[in-house]
Amino acid sequence: MSGVTTFNELKTRSNTNKIYLAELTLGEHLSSGSWTKLTGHVYSKTYRDDTIMLASGASVTVRKELEKIKENGTTIIQKTSLALVKANTPSFFHNVTQSTLYLHTSNGSTPNQFTEVGYFTLRFGTEPKVLYSGGSKYYEPYITENGIPRLSANLPSIYWGITNISAGNLQLDNSTGFFDQISKKYLWIKKRCKLLVGGEDLPYSEYKTMFTGEIYDKTYTRLTLDLAIRSTSFDLLRSIPINHFWTSNFPNMDPAAEGKSIPVYYGIYDINQAPLVTCINTSMTTANNRRFKICDHPVSAITGVYLNFSDVTGWIEYPVDTGYGSVDLTNATFIVTAASYVTGQTKCKVAFHGAYSTASGTTSGAPEIVEDILLRLCGKIGDDLNTVSFTTSKTDSDVALNVPIENEVSALSVIDKICKSDLAFFDEDADGKYRYRTWSPLVTSPGALPSIQTDRDFTDMPRMIDDTVSLFYKIRVRYSYSANTKESLQTETSDVTSRYKYEKSEVLDHDTYIRGKSDADTLAQRLNLVLKDPSPILTGKTKLQLVDKVLGDKIKITMARSPFEVAGGYVGRVFEIFSISKQFSPAEVEIRARDLKELGGQVGFWTASTAPTWANANSDDKAISGFWTDADGYIDTANEDTLNGSTWW
Amino acid sequence: MANENILIFYKNSMVTATLTPSSTTGQFTAENLKDSLRTKVWTTAGGVTAGSASLQMRFGTTQTFNAIILANHSWTSVPEKLNVVFSNATGNWERISTRDVTGKFRVDLTGATTFAPSIDTFGNQNVICKIFTATQYQCAMLDVDNTVGDWDLGQIWLGRYFEPDFQALENYKETLVDPSIVQQTPGGQRYADIVPKHREVAFTYTARTHGEWRNIQQMYHEVGISKDLFISFDYTNYASEMTLYGKFTSMVPMTFNKNRVMDFTFRESR
């Protein structure tokens, strides 16, 4: 007994026994075999642990306790008694003591009419361990010496974008033949894999989840079972929009639209941004009437309809038919009456307000749009999202977007461009939940940040690299995308001082979903602020001190040299992690972090009533508060160190 | 070290037995006793005052026994009663108090030479072993009266051992291995990922008689490098510290040479 019972102690002590756990939630097809019909539309069957034969001839038991059943892909409710299963449709109860499964299907008929898949968790460790989590659970010591994969996450761009999360192979020891039978008997592909780290005398609640993803491949040999695991973000490579125009659904539609995607539109589209719409009924009862469909979801308003008969006449505004049933906001359709309309030649575009929520109106904010894409278009549920990150970003984000999804693209590529428009990051947390983080350079509580001393905590020499790849003197931001001309407007900001100092003339072209010029100008100025000077990047390795960190976390770095006073270095300087890689034999965490360039410290709160004066400010106040400056850029004219010590964001 | 009284336990009738425990806790059923992982335990149930428990084992056919080993138990002191009763009467398991009642045979383990009440300084995992004159039965029952509540047991071996006629081991070398990984920072701070230690034993064995040669061959044929076995390297003098559970780490050429000399390496299992 070491007395180490908290994760914080485990990661900060110099000598600790680390234990890694893998929890695999596997499936088993339950529909086959005989079921006994009971009263109340409940069916039962014997469902017991599996006894398997090892290579040595010994038999061992595989524990199975059903946690979830999916019926034709839909999760059904777990209950704790037969009576509750009778009363709830659909539901199930696994009586482990009696090795009996009770199942009430969604229509009360036999489970063999459905594909019923039961889910249970197998637990493995790098060492044998009994931990209490809803009952004592034994972690079988089948993870091989180097069996925990290196986990890494990094950002292709250090200021925005989708995180690349990679995971390798979880390797389990099969020298005893433990996996010979169960590798075939159970369903492994696309099933959940969760990796945790702990050790010493930690209770289960103190073990930290490092990664939650899915198994996508398995390789089985006489010696090992290798499970290839990856992030659940791969699910988001699915194409959106989901639905298409078919004549089977819209018999009289424009024949040229057959098979086209039914678009999805977020934001507010004016006359210039208005998209072309599809005629879904060219043969209405009333002469010269035609019905058009804008998109695949309800819209909150239609503000203008325009027809173009030829390049000579150009766009002409037409009144929307206001008769009963003409405008259908729920189905996003409207009727236009135009005698000169020729199907296949005349174009129609519409200004409107796109997808909306009853609570907050038209969905225009970047985090709100990403959330809607995940929940409505990608089939995710609220529990799949890291709600704290979305809630925080809804406050931090200040851009209004128009996101037209007209042709099939992957959901990830749309989210990537939204991140680009908002200076935001999209990734997964350790529990596999999707995170959206609008970037903020503010450091609100520097005193509370973890402090790393490179000499003491880094297992090798830290490296400091000036990143000149992300050095641009001019920023061009494209905005106000026109969904009918497929072109955008453009704004630019530059800093000639940067160009002369570094003699680099690269210009960043930044394509966005931003709707208006004001937001585009703000983004261009922010990009100019962070990209006009090289960004110092710190690379180094620690033991487990940083194992629970994720991208975007800030740390304070002290990198002293001796004699410190003349040799320079950093003391408690704030860095932000943008790349992290964790390996476990030996336990080591490699980070890459960018210097916030004191930007966080310089961002001002001039309008805050609590902002102190420079003279009265303590060191924390000076780090987090902005201060009025004189015309020469000094906060305190008597102190040259205060030059340009205050920054707009 | 004299290496007197080397006992090798490798035949365990438990692995195919049908088990009926008097109680069990959660997933820690008596079937865990068949698993070669000694940390995968059977846990009794009954609460603080119910330390008494039994385990019936039916082997199906008549088996020969001359040794019992219990390992990875959680008893902190010798239980008041710790018996294994052998019988051919499958349904009559009354607790007998005297040795050799008609049709039954009781082995009292409370005085076992190697009783270790807790993990000792040598890392032994609570091994109890007892040898006795060979006997044949179809059933057995572990019968325990303990006063400290529910308890665990990781291994129970009922089977046979053999004791080489000539006991001397040459070149006996026991090594404590620490696989922990130690790293040092530029500032001189040392960190360690601690990994549990284990022992490795190397020894040279000389079979002086043909009978002994056959015993070794049979044992080696049975376990190879894949099966765990118990070896008491000095049952008489250092039973507690020198009884190890583990595997041979490499196969030895079984050459029938003039001297029948074999070099073994053995590694403790976790």
Condensed to tens digits (0 to 9), the pLDDT of residues A420-440 reads 999 999 999 889 999 999 987
Which chain A residues touch B31 with a CB distance below 8 Å? 51, 59-61
Which among A58, A65, A543 has CB closest to B36? Answer: A58
Which among B28, B34, B185 has CB closest to A459? Answer: B185
On the 0-12 / 13-18 / 19+ scale of CB atoms within 10 A, B12 is buried
CB A295 within 8 A of CB A332: yes
CB A180 within 8 A of CB A174: yes
Mean pLDDT for the stretch of residues A258-265: 96
Which among B31, B39, B183 has CB closest to A459? Answer: B183
Answer yes or no: do A586 and B36 touch at CB < 8 A: no
Which chain A residues touch B226 with a CB distance below 8 Å? 55-56, 175-176
- Whether A582 contacts chain B with CB within 8 A: no
Answer yes or no: do A586 and B194 touch at CB < 8 A: no
- Say if residue B242's pLDDT is above 60: yes
- Whether A73 contacts chain B with CB within 8 A: no
Answer yes or no: do A461 and B15 touch at CB < 8 A: no
SS3 B13: helix
Which among B29, B187, B270 has CB closest to A456? Answer: B187
pLDDT of residue A161: 85
Answer yes or no: do A176 and B36 touch at CB < 8 A: yes
- Say if residue A604's pLDDT is above 80: no
Question: Which chain A residue has the Cα nearest residue B192?
Answer: A15
Q: Which of residues 427-486 of A touch B (CB under 8 A)?
A: 453-461
Mean pLDDT for the stretch of residues A250-271: 95
- Whether A15 contacts chain B with CB within 8 A: yes
Which chain B residues touch A458 with a CB distance below 8 Å? 185-186
**Helices (DSSP H) in A400-480: which residue ranges?**
411-422, 454-457
Categorize the per-residue pLDDT at A625 as very low, low, confident or very high, splitting at 50, 70 and 90: low
Q: Which of A543, A544, A558, A582 to mutate to test the interface with B (most CBs of B within 10 A)?
A: A543
Which among B192, B195, B227 has CB closest to A56? Answer: B227
Across chain A, mean pLDDT equals: 88
B8-162: CATH topology is: Jelly Rolls (2.60.120)
C-alpha to C-alpha distance for A221 and A224, rounded to whole angstroms: 5
Categorize the per-residue pLDDT at A154 as very low, low, confident or very high, splitting at 50, 70 and 90: confident
Q: How many residues does chain A have?
A: 649
- Say if residue A196's pLDDT is above 90: yes
Which among A56, A459, A587 has CB closest to B226? Answer: A56
Percent above pLDDT 90 for chain A: 56
Please state which of the ranges A2-11, A67-76, A239-248, B230-239 shows the lowest mean pLDDT: B230-239
pLDDT of residue A60: 85
Number of cross-chain residue pairs from A and B with Cβ atoms under 8 Å apart: 99
pLDDT of residue A605: 41
Sign (positive or negative) of CA dihedral A376, A378, A384, A389? negative
- Say if residue B1's pLDDT is above 50: no
Kind plus residue range of the DSSP H or E element containing A185: helix A178-185
- Whether A97 contacts chain B with CB within 8 A: no
Please state which of the ranges A323-327, B26-30, B199-203 shows the lowest mean pLDDT: A323-327
Percent above pLDDT 90 for chain B: 21
Mean pLDDT for the stretch of residues A31-53: 89
Mean pLDDT for the stretch of residues B202-211: 83
Which chain B residues touch A543 with a CB distance below 8 Å? 183, 191
C-alpha to C-alpha distance for B34 and B85, rounded to whole angstroms: 19
Please state which of the ranges A158-162, A229-233, A289-293, A355-359 shows the lowest mean pLDDT: A158-162
* Closest residue by Cα to residue B193 from B204, B179, B206, B213: B179
- Say if residue A565's pLDDT is above 70: no
Which chain B residues touch A61 with a CB distance below 8 Å? 29, 31-32, 34-35
Q: Which of B19, B27, B190, B226 to mutate to test the interface with A (most CBs of A within 10 A)?
A: B27
CB A458 within 8 A of CB A542: yes
Mean pLDDT for the stretch of residues A461-479: 89
Interface of B with A (CB under 8 A): 15-16, 25-29, 31-32, 34-37, 39-40, 43, 181, 183-187, 189-196, 226-227, 270
Per DSSP, A608 falls in state -
Categorize the per-residue pLDDT at B254 as very low, low, confident or very high, splitting at 50, 70 and 90: low
Which among B35, B196, B226 has CB closest to A55? Answer: B226
Mean pLDDT for the stretch of residues A289-297: 94
Which chain A residues touch B183 with a CB distance below 8 Å? 459, 543, 586, 588
Mean pLDDT for the stretch of residues A553-563: 77
- Whether A60 contacts chain B with CB within 8 A: yes
- Say if residue A14's pLDDT is above 90: no
Cβ-count burial A123-151 (b if 16+ within 10 Å, e if not): bbbbbbbbbeeeeebbbbbbbbeebbbbb
For chain B, the structural domain boundaries read: 8-162, 169-268
Which chain A residues touch B15 with a CB distance below 8 Å? 56-59
Which chain A residues touch B192 with a CB distance below 8 Å? 14-16
ipTM comes to 0.83
